[in-house]
Structure formats: structure tokens, C-alpha cells
Chain A
Amino acid sequence: MSHKIHIPKIPHAFFRWYCKSDRYEELHGDLEEFFYERVAESGPVKARLLYWRDVIRCCQPYAWKKPGFYSNSNIVMFKNYLKTSIRSMVRNPLSSFINVFGLAVAIGVCIVVYSMVRFSHSTDQFHEHKNEVFLTTFDADRDGRTSRYGFTPAPLGKALRQDFAQVKKMARVKDVPVVVKQDENVFHESIRLTDPDFLDMLTFPLKWGDKASLADPNSIVLSEPMATKYFGKEEPLGREILVKFGENEKKLFKVTGVAEAFPAAHAISFDFLINFENHHQAQSGFDATNWADFVGATLIQLDDAAAISMIQSGMDRYRELQNAVDSEWKISGFGFESIESLHRNSSGISRDISIDQADEILIGLPVMGIFMLALACFNYMNMAISSSTKRLKEIGVRKVIGASRGKVIFQFLAENILLTFFALLLGLVLTATVFMPWFSEIADAPLTLSLLDTNLWVFLVGILLLTGLVSGFYPALYISRFQVVKIFKGTVTFGKKNPIMKTFLGVQMVLAFVFITMAVMFKQNSDFQAKRPWGYNQNGVIYTAVPNPAGYDQLSAAMSQNPNVLSISGSGDHLGKSISSAVVGLADRSYDVQRMLVDPGYFETLGIPVASGAVFNSLPSGSNKVLVNELFVKSTLMDEPIGQLFKIDSVQYQIVGVVKDFHAFNFYYEVKPMVFQAASKADYRFMSMRVNPGSELKVYEDLKEHWATLFPETPFQGGEQVDLWAKFYQDLGQMKRFTRTVAFIAIMLAALGLYGLVTLNVSGRIKEFSIRKILGAGLMNIGRTISRQYLVLTVVAFLLGAPLAYIMNIGLVKMMFAYPLPHGQWSVALAFVLLVSVMMMVIATQIRRVSKSNPASGLRAE
């Protein structure tokens, strides 16, 4: 018999784990006996296998440890802690609920923040060559300041490819609006013209088809949603799609590829890709070799990302080429931005192909999350200390039985971590059901909570421990300090003078103050925005896009028969739908402005008030006459705008009138300087109508009917002007509800913390108050005595909190709205009044308690 063969460790450990300690010896002795015998008989391998089998078979109730047979006293104690924790939570259901709920909301916000930050940082990081692919940018001087732009002169891409050996691949990108037709499906779409390298440079794997097919000018590559939209779920390779670039330009494309669904975190994507050579048809005036023409983006790929500095230093010649032909865009220098960093820096680059990173959300939310968490922690500290008065006896008994101070500290920390754990669970539920959908909508990003994300678990455990320990540490230290003798003698004096607790309450009040201010400010701002005039009369306006000028004639002829239609105007642009841009050359400076091509009746139809001057006549006499808005006058510093001249595209125009400023888009956007030019019939893309009040729906239905008979092949794109802003108001309402909830929780937390502290304080001074009462103190006197110290606290909190709340919230509101409510300080004042009244209510309950109490019972204690 060889004793060198040992019992296998893993099953042995398992056996030891499940086996009752008093049966371990005999049971395992049996197993060992068998094991050694089998080693001798049939070798160690088989013996080990059979040992495994035996251990598993023996795992039956007769061998199991039974609850109550625990030998580990720590576990017994732990069970006891659990029990007392749950009991003390159940005893104060309201305060525990608020505690847990406050923590849960804070944790929920933190989880959302986490997933938002993660989402934002992972945006476009799936591209394999993200570090080697660069977007070309340029700097140009506009409106007196230098800005960085993300589009490029059209010939630059090819020039770079030819002149630099380091440039391995290049793709120009140009987006054009088109109408796509496939069988009965007709939609307005944006189609992307690009070079075949595009799909190699960026990682957009194809679900079906071949990347290389993009080299063929007759091929079209679809995104997955577009393939589903036009062809359903089946494979569309080889099917044909008709693209109408303009009135007479159509081309049939063959589907040769369908991209896989893009990862959710993407900023660069496409609907349709066709070869760049199609630009001849897509845009007749466009010349790919002209340095004054632009493409939406030029991407280059290098073998070695470091070579970009070399290319950077050789860009000067292109600047000269461009400056020689284009006086409108004086490029002062070129730059590059890698795909890896493009989304992050996109807000500093105008008109680039990426989406701007939502900085306000990435800064505002984490700050809010940390503040909420801090508020909930401070609240817990206050509540825990004050509620410990009710548990003094328990602590005393524990100490008498032999619990060391360390044990008591451990108990309270464990209890707190348990509470935080409940809060974490609730927070996760809240996040999944409420916060995620909310914030996804606000941030316009499909946020998800993936339980497979290991970082999330690290984050959650981190939050659990951090919150649990931070909020529980001081209460645990404080509570464990009491001496047993004093506890049972009833002479524990606490809550009377405790600077740390007062500091906690002060901090809590400052935080609550910040949140209440936030809610008030958001509420006031939302109301302000909701009431803010748009600057034109959008009620009773029906608009529709028209397929072509001839279509405008047909449709307006049909609609003018409707008695409810008061006026009809045609325009090339339309408020809230599309506005083009132009560069105004004035003396020595040029300005970026918005431009609208409208007919003379447009101002009346849309109800845009003319401040001075007159509306231009219709063409041809109205040519070279323009109207501008007041902001244009202000930003160009004109004293007498009427009659002034300026140039657009080297054509001279004269200002004949000034209209009042109005919001062309919603209030998140600033009003921009604007120029109105007379539109020729050929420019008409929109038709707008002013209708009799109350008849909007009827006219709308009528319009749709006419549309269906006149243009059965073109999708209807019209509606009521007011409906354009429905989403904006919806967002606003949602924001208001959210901040209100947060503020309500903040007030509740502050009130509870205060309630606990005041109660504690009053209980500690009950003798003093009893003597005062006996000596004839009235209600006023007692009230004054109790509230004096809180008055000081409130004033201090106000002095610290007011500037903080003001600065933070003004910053937040300014990031959100282009036109925030002026005089934000009133919201601070209102928040202060709200907080003080809550405090007074809390203190009043205690004054009432003292005044009702019998002084004799207060003095009898000894």
C-alpha cells in the first residue's frame, strides 16, 4: 500500500465544506479506506475518479451541516446583525424607505452616468484603423474669429493621395439629398457619394455582398435599416433601386452590398453608399477639380499614424492653391483629426461628419450624480446617528456580553452595507425601468445596461463599498464610543454639542439647496421657454414640401380652391425644416448667415413681422433686393440698414427691409443673422398656407388628398407648423418632471436629516426645557431657544450654498438653452424660502412636542 498517493484536494475540500464536523472523521475515514484500497487494486487514476464519485454521492442530507450546528460564531453574529438591521429598518419604515430610496436614486443616476460616459467613450472605437484614419480639417476666419471646419476643398483628397507616399487610402465623402424609389416605396433620403476605399478604411463589415463592388459606379451599398425598409428581411443583392437626384436626373443602381447593423455607439454611419464618380449626375454644378468646390469630408489612411506630422507640414501649398481661387473661404491652415478622437473633439469642428459629443451631459450628469450620492450619504449619517438613540440599550447589551468596540463598528458598517445593497438593487431596477429610457431620450443615445459588462460590476461593487463605508464610518465610530455604564445609567449625553454632526447637516443643507435651486430654475426656465414667443405666428400655418416647381403650381392651384386657405406662398427654404447658409461680404469682413429663398407673400403667410422698410417685390423687379433680420443689423453694426449694399457670391444686394428676430428652430438653438432673398419659381421646394383659425385639420386632410392624386410617387412631407415643435415641448416636460423628482427627494432627505437632528437635540435637552417651563418660559421663548442654533446653521448653509447653487445651475441652464431665463438669482431666493419653510415646519413639530410635554416627567428621570 503506497501512502504517497494522496487524497485529491479539490473533492476533499468540497467534502470538508459540506460535511458535518462531527461526522467528518468516520465518513471520510470510510472514503479514505476505499481510496487506498483502490489505489492498491486498480491504480491511482481510477481511485481518484471513484473518490470523486463517492464524494458527490455522499453529498446527502445525512452528511450535511445543519443550520444551528454552525461552529463559526462570526456567522452566528452576522445572522444576528442581519436580524437586528432588518428589525430596526422595519421599526422606522418611512425613514428607512427614504434612506433607501434616496440612495437608490443616487445610485441609479450614477449607473446612468456610468453607462453614458462609457457609451460616449466607446463611440466610433470599433473602427479597426481608428488611429490611422484621419479626417482632414481646415481653419478659416469667419465673423471675425477663426473656426475649424470638417469639410474640405474637393480636389484635396486626390492631391494628398498623389503627393504623399504615406497616404495609403483616401475617401472623399459627399452627401446629397435624393428621392429613392423601389417598386411602390418612395422616400426622401440622403445618399452618400464616396470612394471605394471608404469601406476599407472604416470598419463597416457587410452582411451580404462585396466591399469592392463600390468601385462600380452602378453599384449601391445599403445600411441594414435601409435594406429592411426597401426590401424587407430577404437578401436584396442584385435588386435594383431608382435614385432621383433632381428633376431630370435619375439613375438605376444595383444593390451589391448590405452593411451589418452598425454598433449602437457610432457617430459616423451611412444610409446609402454610391461611387463618388456619380457626382456628375448628383450635382451638375459641382467640379471635383475646383478648389472652390467642397466635399463633405476627406478621409485619409496612413500606414503609420506618426507620419501625419510630416503631411501636416506639407499642407501649405494647398492653402495657396485654394486661396487663389476662393475668396469666400480663406483657408488659413489645414489640420487632421483621427477617427479615434474625432467624436470627442467634434464639437470644436464645424460641419464635420461626426456627431458632437454631448459635453453638457458628460459634465452635468456626473456632477449631479456625485452630488446626489453625497446628499444621500450625509443624510444617512444624520439619520443613523439620531436613530441610534433608540438602539442604545442594544449597544449596551452587546458590549456587556463582550462585544468589543471593533465588533460594534463592524456591526454598523455591515448594517450599512446591507442597506446600501438594498438601495443598489432598487437603484438597478429604477435605472432599468425609469432612468435609462428617460436619459436615452434626452441624450438621444440608445443606452443599455449590459449585465455582461465586467466594468459595470466593478463599478457597482465600488459604489456599494464606497457609499456603504463612507456613509457608515462616522456613525459607527460615534455609536460605538458610548460607555456601557453610562448607557444603562441613562446619562449618555449626546446630540447636545456636536460640531461634526452640525457640519454634516450643514453640508446636507447646502446640497439640498443646490438641488432645490436646480429644480426651481428648471421649472422657471421651462415655463419661460414654453411661453417664449417664436417671433412669428406659427398657429394656423400648414406647410408641405413640394417635389418640384411645377408641382407647386399644380398643388397651389388645387389648394386655392379651398375657402379656408387665406394665402399661399412658395419658398426654397422653410422655417423649422430647412434653412440654407450663405456668406455675406461686407466692406472688409465676411459673415456667416442663414439664408432663406422666399416669395414676397411668405412674411405674411408665416406671420413674420416687418420692423422697418418693406417687403421686396416679386421677381424680376425684386431681384437683388433682400430683407434681413434685426440680429443681422446688430451684428454687422449698421446704423441705417435700409438701402445698404452687400455681396453674396459676388452678386450685389440691397437691403430693403428689416424683419423682427424669430426662432427658425427650437430654443436650444440661437437665433442667427438671416437674409431673405426673393425666390424664383425654380427655387420653390416648399409651400406654406395660412388658413382660417380652427380649420387646420380640414385643410391638412384636403392637402393630403390633393397630394395623393397629384404625386402618387412622392412621399407626403407636410404638416402643421406647430407640430414641428411637439417633440421640443415633450422633452421640456420630461426634464421638468425629472428635476422635480430629484428636488423632492432632496427636500425629503434634508427634512428627515434635520428632523432626526432636532429630535435628538431636543431629547438631550429635555431637562433644560422642563426647568425653563417651570420657571415660566412661554412657547415663544422655547421656540427661540430651539431654533436659534439652526438659524445660524441655515444662514451659513445659505451663504455657502447660494453662490454654489447659482453658479452651478446657471452654468447647467446655459448649456441647455440658448436663451435662459434672465435673473436666475430669483430661483435661488425661491429655493431658499422653500428650504427654510421646510426647516421651520420640522422645528415646529419639536417645539410642539416640548410645549405639550409635562415638565415633571422630563425632570423625573433620576
Chain B
Amino acid sequence: MGRSHLGEFEELVLLTVGVLYDDAYAVAITKEIASQSGRSVAVSAVHKSLYRLEEKGMLSSRLGESESKRGGKRKRLFNITPFGKKALDESMDLRMSLRNRISDLAFNWQRD
């Protein structure tokens, strides 16, 4: 398992960070994943993944402005790093190449 390995949820978070470019922070990511995937997501799970990804070097972060809706606290905004993009691409490529190698026969259920 290399450093660039991505877990399923991590990949989702990474993708969402990309989608929400420049406004990717935990609350927004949580909501986005929840609305897109339709499953309930705990903010703590998102936190965990974000910090893991940052440790792996796939995300970079900076502190944003303080906002009153957060009780005057600043938020941490995340961006994808080139390494993050590479990991994402590799992961997608792997999936695509595997998907493409599945022969049509495997999907032909009317055979029998």
C-alpha cells in the first residue's frame, strides 16, 4: 500500500475539495457529499479524512476569514495539490482501465 493509496471515502472527499474549489472547508464538504451521495455524513469523518490527506500531501490548506455564523471563528480552506491530482488521476485511471477490461460477456445476463 503506497503513500498514494486512496480510501473510498478519502477519494470522495478529495474529489469534493476539487469541486468546491476555493471554498472547500469541512462543513461545505460534508454538505456536498451528503447531498450528492444521499448518505448521511458525519463532520468528524470528513475532518479525519481532510487531515489525513493533508498529511499525505494531497491537500494544502490555509485559514480563511472569520465569520459570524461560525461564532467568529476562522475556517480552514483546502486545495488540491499536484500530488493530490496525480493520486486522483491514478486512482481514476486504475478504475477506468479495469472497467474497460471487463468483457461485454460479463454483462450479458440473458445468455442462460
Binding site for B on A (CB under 8 A): 1, 7, 25-34, 36-37, 54, 57-58, 60, 62-63
Q: CA separation between A36 and B72, bound complex, in Å?
A: 12
B93 vs chain A, min Cβ distance (A): 29
User: Is the Cβ of B27 less than 8 Å from the Cβ of A63?
Assistant: no
Q: CA separation between A287 and B69, bound complex, in Å?
A: 96
Q: A34-B27, A60-B48, A62-B51 are in contact. Are A29 and B43 (CB under 8 A)?
A: no
B6 vs chain A, min Cβ distance (A): 17
Q: Which of B31-79 contact A (CB under 8 A)?
A: 42-45, 47-48, 51-52, 63, 67, 69-71, 73-76
A63 and chain B: residue at smallest CB distance: B47
Q: How many residues of chain B get a CB closer than 8 Å to chain A's CBs?
A: 20
User: Is the Cβ of B43 less than 8 Å from the Cβ of A30?
Assistant: yes
Contacts of B26 in A (CB 8 A): 26, 30
User: Is the Cβ of B75 less than 8 Å from the Cβ of A30?
Assistant: yes
Q: A26-B63, A30-B27 are in contact. Are A62 and B48 (CB under 8 A)?
A: yes
User: Is the Cβ of A57 less than 8 Å from the Cβ of B73?
Assistant: no
User: Is the Cβ of A58 less than 8 Å from the Cβ of B73?
Assistant: no
Contact pick for A32, options B42, B63, B73, B76, CB 8 Å: B73
A23 vs chain B, min Cβ distance (A): 8
Q: CA separation between A82 and B41, bound complex, in Å?
A: 44
User: Is the Cβ of B73 less than 8 Å from the Cβ of A28?
Assistant: yes
Contact pick for B27, options A1, A25, A33, CB 8 Å: A33
Contact pick for B70, options A32, A54, A57, A62, CB 8 Å: A32
User: Is the Cβ of B43 less than 8 Å from the Cβ of A54?
Assistant: yes
B79 vs chain A, min Cβ distance (A): 15
User: Is the Cβ of B74 less than 8 Å from the Cβ of A58?
Assistant: no
Q: DSSP class of A's interface residues: helix, strand, loop or mixed?
A: helix
Contacts of B70 in A (CB 8 A): 29-30, 32-33
B71 and chain A: residue at smallest CB distance: A32
A10 vs chain B, min Cβ distance (A): 17
User: Is the Cβ of B71 less than 8 Å from the Cβ of A30?
Assistant: no
Q: CA separation between A58 and B43, bound complex, in Å?
A: 8
B15 vs chain A, min Cβ distance (A): 20
Binding site for A on B (CB under 8 A): 25-27, 42-45, 47-48, 51-52, 63, 67, 69-71, 73-76
| Cross-chain pairs A/B with CB under 8 angstroms, 25 sampled | A25-B73, A25-B74, A26-B26, A26-B63, A27-B47, A29-B71, A30-B25, A30-B26, A30-B47, A30-B70, A32-B70, A32-B71, A33-B27, A33-B67, A33-B75, A34-B27, A54-B42, A54-B43, A57-B42, A57-B45, A58-B43, A60-B44, A62-B47, A62-B48, A63-B47
* Minimum-distance CB pairs A-B, first 6: A29-B73, A29-B70, A57-B44, A26-B76, A32-B71, A58-B44
Contacts of B47 in A (CB 8 A): 27, 30, 58, 60, 62-63
A62 and chain B: residue at smallest CB distance: B51
B71 vs chain A, min Cβ distance (A): 4
Contacts of A62 in B (CB 8 A): 47-48, 51-52
Contacts of A26 in B (CB 8 A): 25-26, 63, 73-76
Contacts of A36 in B (CB 8 A): 69, 71
Q: CA separation between A325 and B27, bound complex, in Å?
A: 102
Contacts of B52 in A (CB 8 A): 62
A786 vs chain B, min Cβ distance (A): 67
Q: A1-B69, A26-B63 are in contact. Are A31 and B43 (CB under 8 A)?
A: yes
User: Is the Cβ of B44 less than 8 Å from the Cβ of A54?
Assistant: yes
B52 and chain A: residue at smallest CB distance: A62
Contact pick for B43, options A7, A25, A34, CB 8 Å: A34
B31 vs chain A, min Cβ distance (A): 9
Contacts of B76 in A (CB 8 A): 26
Q: CA separation between A62 and B25, bound complex, in Å?
A: 16
B47 vs chain A, min Cβ distance (A): 6
User: Is the Cβ of A7 less than 8 Å from the Cβ of B71?
Assistant: yes
Contacts of A7 in B (CB 8 A): 71
Contacts of B44 in A (CB 8 A): 54, 57-58, 60
Q: CA separation between A718 and B83, bound complex, in Å?
A: 96
* A29-B71, A33-B70, A57-B42 known, 15 other contacts, Cβ within 8 Å: A1-B69, A26-B25, A26-B26, A26-B73, A26-B74, A26-B75, A29-B67, A29-B70, A30-B25, A30-B47, A31-B43, A33-B69, A57-B43, A57-B45, A60-B47
Q: CA separation between A30 and B42, bound complex, in Å?
A: 12
Q: CA separation between A26 and B62, bound complex, in Å?
A: 11
Contacts of B75 in A (CB 8 A): 26, 29-30, 33
Contacts of B43 in A (CB 8 A): 30-31, 34, 54, 57-58
Contacts of A29 in B (CB 8 A): 67, 70-71, 73-75
B56 vs chain A, min Cβ distance (A): 13
B16 vs chain A, min Cβ distance (A): 15
Q: CA separation between A54 and B44, bound complex, in Å?
A: 7
A37 and chain B: residue at smallest CB distance: B69
A623 vs chain B, min Cβ distance (A): 102
Contacts of B51 in A (CB 8 A): 62
Q: CA separation between A199 and B50, bound complex, in Å?
A: 74
A2 vs chain B, min Cβ distance (A): 12
**Which of B42, B44, B52, B73 gathers the greatest number of chain A CB atoms within 10 Å?**
B44
A165 vs chain B, min Cβ distance (A): 76
Q: CA separation between A26 and B29, bound complex, in Å?
A: 14
Q: CA separation between A7 and B69, bound complex, in Å?
A: 13
Q: CA separation between A27 and B26, bound complex, in Å?
A: 9
B35 vs chain A, min Cβ distance (A): 14
Contacts of B63 in A (CB 8 A): 26
Q: CA separation between A532 and B25, bound complex, in Å?
A: 93
Q: CA separation between A36 and B67, bound complex, in Å?
A: 12
B25 and chain A: residue at smallest CB distance: A30
**Which of B51, B73, B74 gathers the greatest number of chain A CB atoms within 10 Å?**
B73
Q: CA separation between A63 and B25, bound complex, in Å?
A: 16
Contacts of A27 in B (CB 8 A): 47
Q: CA separation between A37 and B76, bound complex, in Å?
A: 19
**Which of A7, A33, A34 gathers the greatest number of chain B CB atoms within 10 Å?**
A33
B23 vs chain A, min Cβ distance (A): 13
A787 vs chain B, min Cβ distance (A): 70
Contacts of A33 in B (CB 8 A): 27, 67, 69-70, 75
A403 vs chain B, min Cβ distance (A): 37
Contacts of A30 in B (CB 8 A): 25-27, 43, 47, 70, 75
Q: CA separation between A33 and B26, bound complex, in Å?
A: 10
Q: CA separation between A36 and B73, bound complex, in Å?
A: 13
Q: CA separation between A1 and B69, bound complex, in Å?
A: 9
Contacts of B69 in A (CB 8 A): 1, 33, 36-37
Q: CA separation between A37 and B67, bound complex, in Å?
A: 14
**Which of A1, A29, A33, A36 gathers the greatest number of chain B CB atoms within 10 Å?**
A29
B68 and chain A: residue at smallest CB distance: A3
Q: CA separation between A58 and B26, bound complex, in Å?
A: 13
